[in-house]
Chains A and B, each alone.
Chain A
Amino acid sequence: MAEISLPSRRWKKPPFIKSARLRWALGIGAAVYLALAFGTMEVNWGRVAEGLPRGINFVAAFFPPDFVTRWDEIADGIYESLWMTVTSTVVGIALSIPIGLGAARNLAPRPVYLFCRGILAVSRSFQEIILAIFFVKLFGFGPFAGFVTLSVATIGFYGKLLAEDIEDMDPGQAEAVRATGASWFQWLNYAVQPQVMPRMIGLGLYRFDINFRESAVVGIVGGGGIGATLNTAFDRYEFESAAAILLIIIAIVMAVEYTSGYVRKWVQ
């Protein structure tokens, strides 16, 4: 009956990280990092105070936005963005299929795998804008540079996801088709394609959506599309026009998103 004399047993939620030392190290590390990060961040509060009215102006410009004054430029920019989006999505996906196949570990021999993974890593590492700067340098101003930029970015995105999807496919189905004596291409068509297709169609639409959004910024560095118009609007402090452009972008992105939702349900 010794237990009775003991104080009642206590319970505490066990901590998420088991080792106390690691827990403290992580906690202190995070605190030090945050202190340093905030410490080195210079905020010029005077400038912020000065700018706030401008911010309020900007928000006020949404009520109502001005679609009319610069309509011709806006329409031009939007169309150009849409063309760039369509062509770059198509070309990017077409190019990323062979690269994605090569970058799937269960499909490609080792050297091909490493080569394709290398292409994907490089094209994914650079933000679209950096790519755009260089392609504008090479191809001159205009939508062609934007098209190339978005195509390359699409390869990085789509190729990587395709490769991962192929690596995750059901090996049983793949093995069964191989056992029938199918050639490599037949195997691809009968075992791999049906398994990855639905998701890849969904991702293609998603990439279309991303490309449209990105097409709004490649223009800032001269790659054509609505970005140029938007940049000009900001430079001239024409917040009403800028608001109109932003609203149009949001509307188009929403429209694409809804459509792609339907298409995805339909291909399932």
Chain B
Amino acid sequence: MLRVVDLIKQYRTGDRALKGVSLDVPDGQVMALIGPSGAGKSTLIRCVNRLVEPTSGQILLNDLPINKLSQAQLRRARRSMGMIFQEYALVERLSVMENVLSGRLGYVGFWRSYTRKFPQSDIDAAFDLLDRVGLADMVDKRADELSGGQRQRVGICRALIQHPELLLVDEPTASLDPKTSRQIMRLICELCKERGLSAIINIHDVMLAQMFAERIVGLRLGEIVYDGPPEGLTAEALTDIYGEEDWTATIRNADEDDGGEEAVDDQDYAAPTPDRDRLAGMT
């Protein structure tokens, strides 16, 4: 299980993206992290695998203190944390297979990875995963030839072939259409169930979060303002997270909609623009 204790992140510009966040994610739980742009969602999940160095606080993955590891130990620890990105972040000029296999980089030596001679077990796993997400005949396509939904599926395979214990998912649907968004979310959640993974899904779309997550954490200005089941997300709770707005339509839609494929375009506020802390996380 993942335990985050009193995590603080202060950027060099002086912005405090996280102001003492504490959080436990038990094994097998799919948790959605919601909040307005700049709330620190991306920073939080990037602190977990230290793509962003936390300023202070503790991160324990199965009692392993992630924040105290040396570089070499950190690389080992990263193997057990799969990450799925907004805008897919596939290496565009590599083939689908190479992208998926890049998830094994933490396990194989440099020379093997350089010559692309991965162990056959890795190749088998890659084929299984690609079959599972329905991309079996795309193996040798270059990543930039794929559509958005297909790319995100490759991204999912890349994360899962690491055999992670935890999935860190950063805005998986931000650049996808509503239908594909649901498919991708469903795929992620199904795969988590199948493999007993826990996941932190950072997501803009409250409805999607309510539909797929077991637990929702609302972040505002670097602080947790809501932590509970999806049903508990009332108008008051949403106001706490996002500020004053008429939330009735959002809540009603979520109640009525049981995941139909012909989704209504209900993502008014889910603008897919990269927010400030995401940009900061990239540097």
Residues of A within 8 A of B (CB): 170-173, 175-183, 185-187, 189-191, 194-195, 197-198
Contact status B89-A183, CB under 8 Å: no
Q: What are 5 residue pairs bridging A and B, where the CB atoms are less than 8 Å apart in the complex?
A: A186-B114, A187-B105, A189-B110, A191-B91, A195-B93
A178 proximity list for chain B (CB < 8 A) = 51, 78
Q: How far is the CB of A196 from chain B (nearest CB, A)?
A: 10
Q: How many A-B residue pairs have CB under 8 A?
A: 89
- Say whether A182 contacts B75, CB under 8 Å: yes
* Contact of A194 with B91 in the complex, beta carbons under 8 Å: yes
- Answer yes or no: B127 CB below 8 A from chain A CBs: no
Report A44 CB to chain B, min CB distance, Å: 58
Q: Select one of A179, A186, A197 contacting B51, CB under 8 A.
A: A179
How many chain B residues touch A (CB < 8 A): the figure is 34
Stretch at the interface among B80-88, B197-205, B213-221, B231-239: B80-88
B85: min CB distance to chain A, Å: 5
Complex Cα distance A197/B94, Å?
A: 11
Q: Is the CB of B51 within 8 A of A177?
A: no
In the complex the two chains form, is B110's CB within 8 Å of A190's CB?
Answer: no
12 further A-B pairs in the complex, CB-CB below 8 A; given A177-B102, A181-B78: A170-B89, A172-B86, A173-B91, A178-B78, A179-B49, A179-B51, A180-B79, A180-B104, A181-B162, A182-B75, A182-B105, A183-B75
How far, in Å, is A159 (CB) from chain B's closest CB?
A: 22
B282: interface (CB < 8 Å): yes
Point out the residue from B81, B105, B282 that lies within 8 Å of A177, measured CB to CB: B105
> How close is A173's CB to chain B, nearest CB, in angstroms?
5
A100 to B152, CA, bound (A): 32
Q: How far is the CB of B129 from chain A (nearest CB, A)?
A: 14
Which residues of B are found within 8 Å of A175, using beta-carbon distances?
A: 51, 85, 89, 282
Query: A186 with B49: in contact, given A173-B90, A177-B102, A181-B75 (CB under 8 Å)?
Result: no
Please classify the interface of chain A as helix (H, G, I), strand (E, B), loop, or mixed, using the class held by over half of its residues.
helix
The reply on B92 being an interface residue by CB < 8 A is yes
In the complex, whether B283 has a CB less than 8 A from a CB of chain A is: yes
Tell whether A171 pairs with B283 under 8 Å between CB atoms, given A186-B105, A186-B110: yes
Looking at A176, A183, A187, A191, which has the most chain B CB atoms within 10 Å of its CB?
A176
* B38 on interface, CB distance cutoff 8 Å: no
A93 to chain B, nearest CB (A): 19
Given A172-B282, A175-B51, residue A190 in contact with residue B85 (CB < 8 A): no
Whether A176 contacts B158 in the complex (CB less than 8 A), given A181-B79, A182-B106, comes out as yes
Contact A181 B51 (CB under 8 A): no
| Inter-chain contact B91/A190, CB cutoff 8 Å | yes
Cβ–Cβ < 8 Å partners of B92 in chain A: 170, 173, 194-195
Contacts of A176 in B (CB 8 A): 83, 85, 89-91, 155, 158
- For A186, the chain B residues whose CB sits under 8 A away are 105, 110, 113-114
Contact with A along B91-122 (1 / 0, CB 8 A): 11110001000111111001001100000000
CB of B141 within 8 A of chain A?
Answer: no
Flag if B113 contacts A190 (CB, 8 Å): yes
Choice from A170, A180, A189, A194 contacting B162 with Cβ under 8 Å:
A180
Which of the residues B78, B94, B110, B158 comes within 8 Å of A185, measured between beta carbons? B110
- Complex Cα distance, B16 from A72, in Å, reads 74
A190 contacts which of B77, B83, B94 (Cβ < 8 Å)?
A: B94
